[in-house]
Amino acid sequence: MANHRTDRVSEDIQRELAAILREMKDPRLHDGIISVVRCDMAKDNSFCRVYISSMNGLDTARKAVAALKNAQGFIRRELGLRLKLRYSPALAFEATDSIEYSANISRILMDIDIPEEDENEGDNT
């Protein structure tokens, strides 16, 4: 059975991490659009794996992960203060290319040329 408290804390961490990213002044975090894609919490809320993605690709996401690993103590302290948790979870950041992948799929779908005759036939039936 899923632990609902863990899911709520995971969503809260994802939201607050996004806010902390916007406030940080590291230039590696502002090369492109950096996004917190997903947070996976351990069942005891002691560890959180955070997936970071960028519109500019996996290389930019890896640079952002390097910056976040350098600032890991600051981020963990900020999360503890903002979420008022008894224990702040240990954070592990990983780069992923999910935003770039979905943008590529969207471009492919937009490039598909559907003849107008096929569109009109579907409306008459």
Q: What is the pLDDT of residues 37-64, one digit of tens each?
A: 889 988 888 899 999 988 888 888 899 8
Query: 103 or 8: whose pLDDT is higher?
Result: 8
Total tally of structural domains belonging to the chain: 1
What per-residue confidence (pLDDT) applies to 102?
77
Asked if residues 54 and 103 have their Cβ atoms less than 8 Å apart, the reply is: no
Question: pTM for the complete prediction?
Answer: 0.75
Q: What percent of the chain has pLDDT over 90?
A: 26
The CATH number given to whatever domain includes residue 18 is 3.30.300.20
Could you tell me the residue range of the domain that residue 92 belongs to? 4-124
